[in-house]
Structure 1
Amino acid sequence: MCSLNLVLNKRDLIRMELLLLETFGWNLCMPTPAHFIDYYLHASVQESDLHNGWPLSSLSKTKAFMDKYTHYFLEVSLQDHAFLSFRPSQVAAACIAASRICLQISPSWTTSLHLLTGYSWDHLTQCIELMLLAHDNDVKEANKPKSTPPSGQTSLHGQPTPPSCTTSSSHRQATSSTTSAQQLLFQAGAFPHLSQHSAPLSQLHALGESQALGPVVPQD
């Protein structure tokens, strides 16, 4: 190996940095919806919001639910390539709106969120519909009864299935913990009708028209 004693002054370093930046087209970091979520969460719930037409009983508890649901919808957006057709900031805004719908917070999209995100309701309806569809499918899957073979039933390998009473307690606890973890997100808590919510696109458009938010050109 040969060592070169290079001495670069400040001007040369700046030129090298500019050369690298121009080579990469100044794209050093690609934004994702996660970059916008925390920023939007600050305005996701307001004291003037209503839950089922009534004032919020606990602002802190509502914000906690909002945080969980927003990050749930963020995970949903990573599992379907259809969300790649939306801007990252648009997906993040739709996560907030979908969470407010699931938590039955009205209005579903406020003027503050409109001004903060730069997106009107019409900009978000298609993305929200995809998220709510995935949410409804997850709720149905979580509430689907688990079918267990009857005691003594013969398995595919010709061996009888052991009776349920002989199942080890550790296995039962592990199964119970897994089921509880899967259904934790869908427990309504203070929002009893959460799992029954369904919002087709026509309903989303109706909600958007009732709020009458003017168009704003979205910018990332």
Structure 2
Amino acid sequence: MASRAVVVVPHQLQREEGKQKKVAGEGKNRQVLQDISNLVVTAPAAQGKINAKLPAPSEKNKKPVIGIINGGPTAGKSGVAKKAEAAVNEKSAVSGRKSREGASRKNARAFTSILSARSKAACGLTSKPKDPKVDIDAADADNELAVVEYLDEIYQFYKLTEDENRVHEYMALQPEINAKMRSILVDWLIEVHHKFELMPETLYLTINLVDRFLSVKVVPRRELQLVGISSMLLASKYEEIWAPEVNDFVCISDNAYGKEKVLVMEKAILGKLGWCLTVPTTYVFLVRYIKASSAPSDDELMENMVYFLAELSLMHYSATILYCPSMMAASAVYVARCTLDRTPFWTETLKHHTGYSEDELMDCAKLFHTFHSAAADSKLKAVYNKFCSPQHGAVALLSPAGGNLSAK
């Protein structure tokens, strides 16, 4: 059946217009429908929209439905059709309102979050991105001698075994020796080590052997220097490619001890320590932690400062008995970074490789800071003079950390 055009009566338009004004007055928050002109649609098109929501009417009751889109006057509509069309229009209006509200809520910030952000900014608590953890072994990936695949496991093993050969309070067992005498011996051994141009590993192992032997054997004062040169002889044989001869140590001690006495003491040290020379000294950890501190590039000034602080700590008995080698190495790196103003003072990379947080290092770091502050005025100047030379960056001449560390 062909569709018929519907003529809209003027008084119907007036009633419909009044009805729309009344609805707009009752609810101002409802969206105003847009006027997209009085397009007249035929019954099949309108019926298609209705049938999307309602079951298809029977052929008997089917009537042509003609109306104006978006709320215009309608003619020939059944009551169900009018309700359905009104529901569709209302649904579209509500959905439009919700979409606008959702967009505005999405873009708007809550008042509480704005106040919190301003408070944090005023207190200096604005969150800063963490420094990324650096792969310090990336440059050595192709170096077979670096054994990058095993480094993490090796240092985990060092951390587990460092307490096995660590010395504790032993001066109470030595009736003729005190901490000051030990400091004088270590100062002299550092000077001998520097004169013989030995490897750093040799120095740290020498001091380890001296302390371990003194912790298990009572030594007369007259033999303390003999223990020192015999320990350095052992460490040189263990670490050096070309170790000094026994006569070199006899000569450097001004012939205070003969060759036979040096060899007898060497044998006594090995016997008391069970021939155990493979121990994780502070130097073992220093190498790794300096690499973690300087990554991704080398920093010679930082390296010299760390070694300066670490060798200062070798002379102090208090540091040796209070802290394990790994903590002493980590503290030396931390104080060096504070002294040279390398910010941040403690990074995520260092925390990962050392296993220590900044707070855990603070007591040991303050002790190292004390050693640095007193180095220039100390009578024992072997370490200070060594690191005043340009060869070691003259780091001993730099001012201590000051406010960077003392303020903590």
Normalised to the residue count of structure 2, the TM-score between the two structures is: 0.28
Kindly indicate whether structure 1 or structure 2 has the higher relative contact order, using CA contacts under 8 Å at least 6 residues apart: 1
More helix by share: 2
